[in-house]
Structure 1
Amino acid sequence: MSVEYRAAVLHAPRMPLTVETVVANGLRRNDVLVRIKAAGLCHTDLEVITGSLRYPVPIVLGHEAAGVVEEVGPEARGVAAGDHVVLSWNPHCGHCFYCDRDLPILCETYLAHGPKAVPFDGECRTRLADGRELRQLMFIGGFGEYAIVADHQAVVVPKELPFDRACLIGCGVMTGVGAALNIASIAYGDTVMVIGCGAVGLSAVQGARLAGAGQIIAVDLDDKKLALAEKVGATVLVNARTGDPVAIARAKTGGRAADVVLEAAGSPIGFRTA
């Protein structure tokens, strides 16, 4: 089934996105057509817009997205029309060196095709009205009314979960919560410091709370972000413009400082503090 829909297209770095009609010509194998209900704007999208992160153009940005499955390809598995889904930007081939070792995040096929912004078979699923191929950022292209993804990219979620919250799970939330729960090895009662209280940092605060942290020290330069951190579980707030995070952490722990530090600002100062 051919589908015409509107999408916000980037034709060149540092140029405005243009909303225009694009065409998707049918589903192949394990493709899934998703009607996008909500999409988040991540800093990665902004970096593509500004040109600091290069991708082929024209391209539809957006990799934090949620929606409803409209149609599935003939070999699609695990998802059906009507399902509510969050889209994953990490498709994997299932048979490379890393996939065989249960490390799909390092999938060699993903790494080979990701910079090209095309599906694993090398064929774009959508085109502009003039026939030119249209790329999908991080295998999603969520800034459109529809997106075509692989079946295992469409993760089914409860239908009562609001789409505007569900879409955030696709990147920032899973990064922060995942770091706290799956990587940091937080023990019950640990003192955890989270540096940077953007989407990833706030999610890390919530992950630390879920892991049973005793004290959660949130560090940022913005009091509004610190107030949000307190709402989601931070117990100590430090504005690094006026306070020394390390000194405060030591004062709160009898000189021991933090047991775990999650750096979510991506800044040299943040790394040094950690």
Structure 2
Amino acid sequence: MTLLQSEIDANGVQFAKNWADEMSSNMAALAGNSHLVDSYQRLTAIQALKAGIVAKKYSPGSAEFFYEAHNDTLTSHVSASFGAWRLSLQALRSAIENSLAAIYYKDHPIELEQWTNGDFRISFSDLFKYALFHPRIGPHENHLKTLADLKSEYATLSKAVHSSAKMFRMTDSAGLVLLWSTDNARLSMWSTRHRKTVQAISQLMVTLHAEDLKGTAAASLRSVLYFSIGSSKRAAIKKHLSVTIPAP
């Protein structure tokens, strides 16, 4: 081994120690932050939808897309807990894609089989269009704005994925490498994106499966949705879908 290789390897060992120490420090600094507390509460709604609806009504292959969406929202939460803001936003974008894909493939078993074999792909635009013209989703869009919210969030989050907006960069003008930070402004920005994304996904699933949530059905699931869907949206859901989301 050359002297240069030895120096590079030693630097690699030190770098690994430094980022591990910094991540632990960031987690300690952010622990208990109200944004993260609220985020975890919202995630219980996605878990409830996963267990109470998707696992029971979706084919195994289509359900896996929603399971991945749930994992995406968890990844976003965990990444935010140590200040990896861009990564956390990228995970939210993936959650939107996977949620729409779950709905599409639930209704398209042949395309799902083709996708499994690597012979089929569908764009976000086409997934969105399918949901927009879905007979149990589209007719409520003028009142609930569920898909409009999803599309808006997707566009914003895409800027983080492609780093096409300065506010989503993790480096500064001097090129300083910044894997993560505990900046409260970034935490607040992430929290807004997380709240709006999880709310839109929750509302999408409620709209599609409203018949399973009316009256006294799925009482515990409806209660948990309180944490992910805001008051104005809850009122609209009650008015236009006849689904009550009570305070827990």
TM-score norm. by structure 2 comes to 0.31
User: Which has a greater percent of strand?
Assistant: 1
User: Which has a greater percent of helix?
Assistant: 2
